[in-house]
A and B are shown apart, each in its own frame.
Chain A
Amino acid sequence: MALTLTVSSSSPHLAVLWTVEHLKGQVQINVKEGKDTVLRVTDTISFTDVHSIIRYLARLAPDKGLCGSHLTEQTEVSHWLEFSQTKLMQKAEFAAGLEALNNSLSLRTYLVGNSVTLADMCVYSALEGSNEWQTQLQQNQAPVNVRRWYSFLEPQLVF
């Protein structure tokens, strides 16, 4: 049964597009445009939440390690997925969240393990969509570790 992914044409979620792009050749997915973002798995099962969609897709191709390659990493990925939706999305917590992210990245090239995972992807998307972050980038005030990580991922995400 082939998967059908409907991508919201007004606001396509970067993480979803990137995951599909990354799993190309490993997972068969029909992509079409629509009003909302939905992944239809079977007639009765479909996912509408972005994180559910990317997790499901990533698990179809375990070799790629997008969810992390062992239990600790998988937990870390979950941590960052939640982080991207809570700390980085709320204005009041953003500054503290960014500082925590900066500290975590001081000894890491990628957020989890030694390759790119959903964690990088979701945190990146959250930052990209954040006005505070864009302002900091423009004014050259962004914390150095996050900036390095961000500009390292950036060229990999240009479709």
Chain B
Amino acid sequence: MRVIENLKNGKYETNKQTLPQCNEAFLKTLESVSHTILSLQQKNSKIPVLQNKKGHRMVGLATIASYLVKEAKIEEILGSTVEEKAIVQQWLEYRTSHIDRVSCWEDIRNILKDLNHYLEDKVYFVENMITLADILIYYGLHPVIAGLSFQEKETFVNVSRWFCHIQNYPSIQQHFPVVVFIKNRIYSTSH
């Protein structure tokens, strides 16, 4: 009955690993980091370059984004275990190598199909916590998802659910317009 003991004594235990996102300071930092990342992304087609105060030059969106996260001391969103860190990096690379290079509808379809399959049993891209991967892929996919019809959104139902969750996550959305999702299926007749 440790639980009741703790409640009685007013002890406060949080599972830090799964819930890094709960405090306001974290969200505020996240917001300003997201803002910087987004402004870098907007200089379209050019590879972003960042020069910090010490005179170091960094090139590339994923590189700069990871640097900003570390600088802002919210490193937990880069993953906590070795495996998580690797998977976050994998998706950051996916963002630059796949999502940023789509040229036709066929490419977009393939990407959405892949992601839809991957996200079937996941809430976030990496484990059960928000990471930089979710943020960058959300920013990268936003124009695509905003252009989908309701029917297409339902075809890629897992992507839609993930996207809807991320856009409602505090401090990430910035100035992006809200994409509307219907929370019940309307096209599939299988149930």
Contact = CB atoms under 8 A, between A and B. Distances in A.
Interface of A: 7, 9, 12, 17, 20-21, 24-25, 30-33, 99, 103-104, 106-109, 114, 144, 147-149, 151-152, 155-156, 158-159
Contact of B18 (A103, A106, A114, A156): A156
A31 B15 contact: no
B47 interface: no
A148 B121 contact: yes
> What is the interface of chain B mostly: helix, strand, loop, or mixed?
loop
Contacts of B15: 155-156, 158
Contacts of B121: 144, 147-148
Interface residues of B, number: 34
Given A17-B7, A159-B6, 4 more contacts: A31-B8, A155-B18, A155-B128, A158-B15
Interface string B36-66: 0000000000000000000000000000000
B175 interface: no
Contacts of B123: 109, 148-149, 152
B118 to A, nearest CB: 12
Given A99-B191, A152-B123, A156-B15, A107 B157 contact: yes
Interface string B5-48: 01110101101011100000000000000000000000000000
Interface string B96-117: 0000000000000000000000
B185 interface: yes
B94 interface: no
Nearest to A21: B7
Nearest to B190: A103
B120 interface: yes
A9 B8 CA distance: 13
A103 B4 contact: no
Given A109-B165, A144-B120, A156-B15, A31 B128 contact: no
* Those 4 A-B pairs whose CB atoms lie nearest each other, nearest first: A114-B168, A109-B165, A155-B18, A31-B7
A109 B185 CA distance: 15
Nearest to B154: A107
Nearest to B183: A107
Given A103-B191, A144-B121, A159-B13, A109 B161 contact: yes
B120 A32 contact: no
A14 to B, nearest CB: 9
B120 A148 contact: yes
8 contacts: A7-B4, A107-B184, A108-B183, A109-B162, A109-B164, A148-B123, A155-B15, A159-B6
A17 B57 CA distance: 51
Contacts of B185: 103, 106-107
Contacts of B13: 159
Contacts of A108: 161, 183
A158 B10 CA distance: 16
Given A107-B164, A152-B128, A159 B157 contact: no
B180 interface: no
A104 B184 CA distance: 7
Contacts of B183: 107-108
B4 A31 contact: yes
Nearest to A18: B3
